[in-house]
Structure 1
Amino acid sequence: MPENSAAAPLSPQVVAEREHLERSRAALRAMRAETLALRAQGGNAVSTEVINSAIQARAAALADRPDVPLFFGRLDYDPEAGSEYRGEHFYVGRRHVHDAHGDPMVVDWRAPVSLAFYRASVKEPMGLGLRRRFGFSAGQLTAIEDEPLGPGAKPAQQGAHGTEPGSQILRQEIERPRTGPMRDIVATIQPEQDEIVRADLGTSICVQGAPGTGKTAVGLHRVAFLLYAHRDRIKRGGALVVGPNRQFLKYIEQVLPALGEIDVAQATVAELVARAPVRAVDGAAAARLKGDARMARVLRRAVWANVQTPTESLTVIRGSRHWRVPAHEIAEHIETLRGREVRYGAGRVMLAQRIAHSVLRRMEMAGESPDDRIQDAVARMRPVKLVVDHAWPAMEPAKVLHALFSDPELLALAAKDELTEPEQQLLLWERAPRSAGAAKWTMADVVLLDELSDLLERTASLAHVVVDEAQDLSAMQLRAVARRCTTGSVTVLGDIAQATTPWATGSWEAALEHLGKSEAVIEELTQGFRVPRQVIEYAARLLPTIAPHLAPPTSVRQQGGGLDVLGVEGEAELEEWLLDSVRSALADEGSVGVITADAALNAVAASLDRAGIAYSRLDQEAEEEDEVADPAPEQGADAETARLVLVPASLAKGLEYDQVIVLEPTTIAEAEHDEVLGLRRLYVVLTRAVTRLVVLHSRPLPAELA
């Protein structure tokens, strides 16, 4: 039990720890002030600006957040143990803080010395004599909890249900009401999560995680760890977090800054491949086909079909001399370059240089002494350019795709042995636009444009990429992500049971192959920490149908009153119970989400408006992939302070609310393209609650839930 709570008298230990907290905060302020006092003077204006930008970034990383505890644990190493830290104690926090003499007052949670905080046990104390946890309220230290780990210590008692953590402070932190954006979990990382977080930069990892297992948080904390352990390399190469939509990224955007990391880019797949504006929507069959990996081979064939074997020799005139390069020699250069599998655009440049080199060899044989400058000049000569343009013409992604979707014969040549005739008909435009500029591209088309762009010019690779909700990506979308981490590593996060797109790959093995990371380690997280046991067990009734190969998830939480399923008669009674449930939920602390089928969103909003209940609303313009519009303006009275969020089922993935009210599960399931996808969407919706789930229905429930 914690030694003190907010209402109890403070013990000398708590007072002493509060004093250390205040001294640590003062030291952090001093570190920031010292950084801001630096005045850079580089060799020129540009270098000075770069140095000053680095100073400002460092100062931003040192900014104190009074509402976020500066440290959350303390490690007392056993004086008799063999550890290199024996007899010392360290405070573990979100960032390193040192005093005026350079001695650590708080050590970073990512430092090697902090490893024992997450993994030490009575069986494996890792040199510790004592592990202390701190309880906080509004940034104020209110309680301490000690766990002896040295000789003679007994294992910590688990909670009443066996799987609950024995630490009351740990349970309170896990169960703390959810308000605003996603929080970091740095104080509650479990040993199996920590192993993933601290995996080496060179290791690609795929995390299959059931709802509430913390897979998103694990991925974000891994980025933070890699920035600590390999900062120079990550900063040089860059790191990126890819999310399913902008609302999801907004939800998680504060996690890394809270850990002192502000230099990690975030993007949706749509933003990543924004090669043209999206102005149309594919049907399910066309979107599925355009997301198929076979399209990569079709596009490659379409590009390289433009390379022609020359039939005429080349003559270059320099001064009074004529230099002739026969057609067969140019053809040999082309064949050699194609055998090297160079990018199409690079091949054009290299072909000009090889032709120029052939001319230089003839000059040398004639007794001249040309140098590299002469070769570059020859490569730029008009006759050489004309030969290159004819044999290896310049390409633009949009023009290639426009021609492919407009010309049945061209498509048939490119799709030979890859796509059937009916599949080719799916790709062809009924009425071809006059030009690529007039084309109304879909989201799937833009992904194909990105593939074409990479065929022409190599896409720059990052040092590390985290891709969340990866189970929903098509093979071609995964290839788009893969292009951004060809020389780096990747952390793949998702849950096959939550795959709700018709173009999803269906297995992690297939997804990793498309990412070019078939060697990645697949880790499965099945123990949940946020979703109550009653809720996860109720939703898991769908698993035998939607993902029979996955192990059923468990939860460490048994929440009293965590699940209510209520059947009513007719729409009028449904509305009455909805409003009563909303008012009841708002009477408690924390966030509230009402999740309904997308088509019913306006009707539910109208009910809330008539009742005068303030709410905010998430919206999207189309139910296709990542094509998500900005959230609609908040609705209802006092909407800016509303804790109630109205959520369409298609946008619920990845979000969490303390209390969730789900309307008409059967309607939500029937909105998808087939039964399995519909039940997967329902599985997502049913697992968004972290305290209480209320299911309201007037229609019969799906058989799997009945």
Structure 2
Amino acid sequence: MTVDPDPGPDTTPAALLQDSLLRERAHHDRCRTALAAMVDGAREHVVTGENVSASGADAEVLGYELRSRAKAMGELPQGPLFFGRLDFSDDCTEGAGHHSGQSYHIGRLRISEAPTVPPLVVDWRAPVSRAFYQASARDPQGVAVRRRFGWAPGSLGDSTDLTGLEDEYLDSGHYDDEYRPQGQSPVSTLVTREIERPRVGPMRDIAATIQPDQDDLVRGDIGVSLCVQGAPGTGKTAVGLHRAAYLLYTHPQRIRRGGLLILGPNRTFLSYISEVLPALGETGVRQSTLQEEIARHPVTGSDGERAAVVKHDARTAEVLRRALYARVSVEGVNSLAVKDGSYHWRVRADELVRIVEDVLAEQPPYAIGRERVRTRVVRAMQLQAERRAGPQNAAWVQRISRARAVTAYVDAVWPRVRPEEVVAELLGDSAVLEAAADGVLDAEEQKALLWARPPRSWKSARWSAADLVLLDEVAGLIEHPEGYGHVVVDEAQDLSPMECRAIARRAPFGSLTVLGDLAQGTTPWAARSWETALGHLGKPDATVVPLTTGFRVPEAVVTLANRLLRRLDVDVPAGRSLRGDGELRVREVPVGAVPGAVVDAVRDALGREGSVGVVAADAQVGRVAEALGAAGIATAGPDDLRARVTVVPATLVKGLEYDNVVAVEPAAIAEAEPRGLHRLYVVLTRAVSRLEVVHGRPLPF
């Protein structure tokens, strides 16, 4: 009987892959156990911290910090705990430095079994993780092997969902599974699959797929304001959100002390991006619209386009400033006397006038100027008292400050005022408006501003959305609002000069990340250049960086959009796409057959993977939804982010993405508003897999 020799270990590629997967799954299980212990530990620290002996203030601060950490840990969304790994070279001369011979798993947050031992997973924002995004065969940065992991779509983090891995040997420039789009450098297969994966629901983070140029922007200096001019599909919104997460990680005390604000164009957009920061381990960040930030009153009124355009014009800020400070007056000022026991302290009329004029020349906020006037009048009396009776204490100063004669004088020369009083008087009284707007606004512009039927008082005024911007401007002149440490502004191209000023007031000492695309500007006051917009935002020296390479929008769709881009009055570079896949179809039918053709197009889209967005001019949305409903196709509005088929008004689609887009009657979209071609450009670039244009009228492009 012959005994076969021991065949030895199986070294076939399939066996090696399976062995690697088993080891990585085991590591993920270990990470899951460690994360559960971290969450339990955070909760235990809250209980322990409640028994700490400390002053009331210190105990409150400690308790808040512990509770916040426990809450954040408990709210972490489920999902894979790492997406990559770095194996550094053993040769420290190759750039590995003190990481020589080390391996690090890269994930969305740091996971460790104990503070004193090396982490099981390194946060993607940590300095060592930068090599995961920046290292290349030309510049390995000490990395021998970069590994990417493939997880089943929609995975909640079960280890069995780890279905693949891909190694890139940077010392040789070799991929074990190469993917090279025509004319492009090697791109990871797993990265490509993740970027192109169909989506239904809110926006996902891109921590696993950040490209080098995006990474440069994400990790930019906190002290430098940044403007990203991003063509459709280039990931500018994702860059802004990941930059916010990076700054929170890198400068936690500085950012949290001032706060971080994410500003989006509307609530639908904010719902779409709402899960990105929590997925990156950052909760509690304020995400809002500018309208919500400045809302002193509900919007119950409306403006004609002409009035709205004037109200949003930067010149109106000067009109408001004049109207406010016109209330300061020294006419008829007489000398001021205050009785103090057996003494009378007196300030001459000319000195009182000089005090007001000096304060006006200093241009402080209105409320601060009022108190400066009071303080200087009291100081003039204090000097008299000290010459006669010696030093006076703080109680004396306070008593004189509250003297009826002093308060009456201050009220007369520098009266208290509400923003509503200033704006209501300006818009309701032609004489007041004419005096404030002289040499700034012409007669027609002043006429457009005036209310047709002024209210009896500001309390009964019906404020429009543009009026709220005016109220915020005056409020900022009276008293500066509390600023944020950093503000991320998305879809910034649509902001008016006055809206930009409102944002600038909220970041006087903090930095901005400004995101937008001049080609997608659709408001009457949309920016024509970033230089002008950044000036109004108070950051004229901000760095402007263009992103032109799209990762989401297919080449066929980008090519069509670029044809329309040439007709728009903006100077931005044409976009390009790394995706050679995707599909574009133009379906022409008789005008009366458009609803039926839309039904057919949606049925075709439902035969493919992913979400379906049906975008039409606002006036046609009801008819389109009715036709789809009659055909038995269930639809939802834009706020239902998990619906399979969504019918979206063209005015709300900005910033959203759908795998399949059916664009209905482009001519109607283009004609619906003065910058309708820009709106159409937005509509055509919402598709990330397939675009079908259904029309009965001639195409605008």
State the 1:604 CA deviation: 1.1
CA displacement at 1:51 relative to structure 2:
3.4
Which one of the candidate residues 381, 386, 392 is aligned to 1:370?
392
Of 170, 190, 197, the match for 1:169: 190
Q: Residues 335, 300 of structure 1: CA spacing in aligned structure 2 closer, same or farther, 3 A cutoff?
A: same
CA–CA distance in 1 between the matches of 2:293 and 2:128?
38
Aligned match of 1:116:
131
Q: Distance in 1 between matches of 2:186 and 2:548?
A: 15
Q: How does 1:242-641 map to 2 (within 5 A)?
A: 242-309=263-330, 311-560=333-582, 562-571=583-592, 573-618=593-638, 631=639
Pick from 44, 53, 57: which aligns with 2:68? 57
Say whether the 8 Å CA contact 2:319–2:440 is kept in structure 1: yes
Question: What's the CA shift for 1:32?
Answer: 0.9
User: Following the alignment from structure 1 to structure 2, what is the Cα–Cα distance between the partners of residues 546 and 590?
Assistant: 31
> 2: distance between equivalents of 1:658 and 1:509?
34
Change (3 A) 1:433 1:97: same
| In structure 1, C-alpha distance between the alignment counterparts of 2:433 and 2:667, rounded to whole Å | 41
How big is each residue's C-alpha offset from its partner over 1:105-157, in whole Å with a ceiling of 9 and x where there is no partner?
00000000001000011111111111111110124211110111126769996
CA contact (8 A) 1:207 1:523 kept: yes
Cα separation, 2, equivalents of 1:164 and 1:177: 24
CA distance in 2, matches of 1:195, 1:335: 50
Specify whether residues 390 and 179 from structure 1 end up closer, same or farther in structure 2 by C-alpha distance, changes over 3 A only: same
Letter in 2 for 1:59: A
Matched, 1:19 2:17: no
2:106 paired residue number: 92
Quote how far apart the aligned CAs of 1:45 are: 6.7
Deviation at 1:61, TM superposition (A): 3.0
Q: 1:623 matched to which residue of 2?
A: none
SS of the residue 2:92 aligns to: coil
Partner of 2:206: 185
Shift of 1:68: 2.2
Alignment correspondent of 1:694:
692
Q: 1:452 to 1:81 in 2, by over 3 A?
A: same
Return the offset for 1:362.
0.8
- Report SS of the residue matched to 1:84: helix
8 Å Cα contact 1:165-1:556 kept in structure 2: no
Q: Which moved more, 1:678-687 or 1:545-554?
A: 545-554
Q: Tell which deviates more after alignment, 24-33 or 366-375.
A: 366-375
Matching residue within 53, 65, 75 for 2:86? 75
Secondary structure of 1:37's aligned partner: helix
Distance 1:156 1:9, change over 3 A: closer
State the match for 1:238 in structure 2.
259
Q: Which residue does the alignment assign to 2:37?
A: 30
Aligned partners of 1:530 and 1:690 also within 8 Å: yes
> Which runs of 5 or more structure 1 residues have no equivalent in the other structure?
619-630, 635-639
TM-score w.r.t. structure 2 length? 0.93
Give the letter aligned to residue 115 of structure 1. R
Match of 1:627 in 2: none
Q: Unpaired segments of 5 or more residues in structure 2?
A: 1-10
- Could you say which residue in structure 2 is the equivalent of 1:145? 166
CA contact (8 A) 2:520 2:681 kept: yes
Q: Displacement, 1:62?
A: 2.8
Q: Aligned with 1:129: secondary structure?
A: strand
Is the CA contact 1:29–1:64 (under 8 Å) kept in the aligned structure 2? no
Shift of 1:294: 0.5
CA distance in 1 between partners of 2:257 and 2:481 (Å): 16
Partners of 2:388 and 2:642 in 1: how far apart?
84
CA distance in 1, matches of 2:268, 2:72: 25
Deviation at 1:159, TM superposition (A): 1.9
Instruction: Give 2:141's aligned residue.
Output: 126
**One-letter code of the match for 1:425?**
K
> What whole-Å deviation, never above 9, does each CA across 1:377-400 have from its counterpart, x for those lacking one?
111111000000000011110110
1:96 counterpart letter in structure 2: R
Cα separation, partners in 2 of 1:582 and 1:118, compared to 1, 3 Å: same
Find the residue that maps to 1:485 and give its secondary structure. Answer: coil
**1:28 touches 1:64 (CA, 8 Å); kept in 2?**
no
Whole-angstrom CA distance in 2 between matches of 1:546 and 1:157: 39
Give, in angstroms, the shift of residue 647 of structure 1.
0.2
Aligned to 2:242: 221
C-alpha change, 1:152 and 1:539, in structure 2 (3 Å) is: closer
**1-structure distance, mates of 2:427, 2:29:** 66
Cα distance, 1:81 vs structure 2: 3.3
Identity over aligned pairs, percent: 48
Partners of 1:28 and 1:62 within 8 A in 2: no
SS in 2 for 1:96: coil
Report which stretch shifted further, 261-270 or 208-217. Answer: 261-270
CA distance in 1, matches of 2:484, 2:70: 25
Change (3 A) 1:543 1:642: closer
**Could you say if the C-alpha distance between residues 347 and 430 of structure 1 is closer, same or farther in structure 2, counting changes exceeding 3 Å?**
same
Corresponding residue SS for 1:211: coil
- Provide TM-score, normalisation by structure 1: 0.93
**Residues 178, 189 of structure 2: 8 Å contact kept:** no
Secondary structure (helix, strand or coil) at the match of 2:370 reads helix
Please give the alpha-carbon distance, in whole angstroms, between the structure 2 residues aligned to 1:4 and 1:63.
Answer: 43
Task: State the one-letter code of the partner of 2:79.
Answer: V
Does the CA-based 8 Å contact 2:433-2:446 persist in structure 1? Answer: yes
Query: What is the letter of the counterpart of residue 199 of structure 1?
Result: G
